[in-house]
Every structure is written in structure tokens, then in C-alpha cells.
Amino acid sequence: MLISRVLALSSVLVMLSLAKFGNAITTGTGQATFYAPGLGACGHVNTDQDFIVAVSRELFDTFPGATANPNANPVCNQPLTANFEGQTVTVTVVDRCEGCQINDIDLSPTAFQQLASLDAGRLSGVTWTIG
């Protein structure tokens, strides 16, 4: 009984995600790195202390509603929650990562440090969800 309720709830959550973002990729597992923020693809200037993220070029450019104007991309300003080895951070999408694979994310240094030390440089197996 409990398993069927969990499965039903999972189906509802997937349907709500599809309703909000169409066929967009809203979850993934990949690598996380960090970068020096500045003026991002969404048109905002950010600093190392901001809790922000750049998503892959492929995810950014194919997000439903994306146009030639990256500042108006619907993925901009969406919350993204990343998890790694029991640590969690919630950040805001503000940029696109040219060197990232589809499921990789590039975090501000402050956000990266919520998951691991900057000395790690690159984390594998990071799970994330947009929305």
C-alpha cells in the first residue's frame, strides 16, 4: 500500500514538472564545477558570493520557450537544487556553461562550497532538480 502511494505521488510530481516546463530536462546527474561569475547569459551580474549556477549550453538553448535572446530564456531565474554526498544547495540559474555536458552544472564558489571544498575542483555524481 505504501509503495503504491509513493509511486502515485512520484507520477504526480513528474506530471507537475512536465506541466510547468513541457519536455524540458528538469533533473539530472552529472559533474559539478565552479567558475568566476560576472555578467551571465541571463543578463545579471553576479559575484562569487551569490548562490548561482550555469547550466549546460544544450539544456539552456533547448529549454522550452528559449529564443535568440538569452536574457528572456525561461530557465533564467529558476531555482536549482543540487545534492552531493548528503549535502544540498539551492541556487538560481543565471548563466549557460559552454564546456559542460548536458547534465553538468557550474556553480559559484560559495555554492560549490556547500557541497564540498573548492580543493575538490570537480564533483562526479551530483544530482540536481530545476523548479
How would residue 24 be classed by pLDDT, with cut points 50, 70 and 90? confident
* CATH number assigned to the domain comprising residue 113: 2.40.40.10
Q: Is the pLDDT of residue 54 over 80?
A: yes
Residue 10 belongs to a domain: no
Which pLDDT score is estimated for 6? 34
Residue 7 belongs to a domain: no
Residue 34 belongs to a domain: yes
DSSP the chain: -HHHHHHHHHHHHHHHHHHHHTT---EEEEEEEE----B-TTS-B--TTS-EEEEEHHHHHHSTT--S-GGG-TTTT-EEEEEETTEEEEEEEEEEETT--TT-EEE-HHHHTTTS-GGG--EEEEEEEE-
Residue 4 belongs to a domain: no
Residue 38 belongs to a domain: yes
Into how many domains does the chain fold? 1
pLDDT, tens digit, 9 for 90 and up, residues 92-128: 999 999 999 999 999 999 999 999 999 999 999 999 9
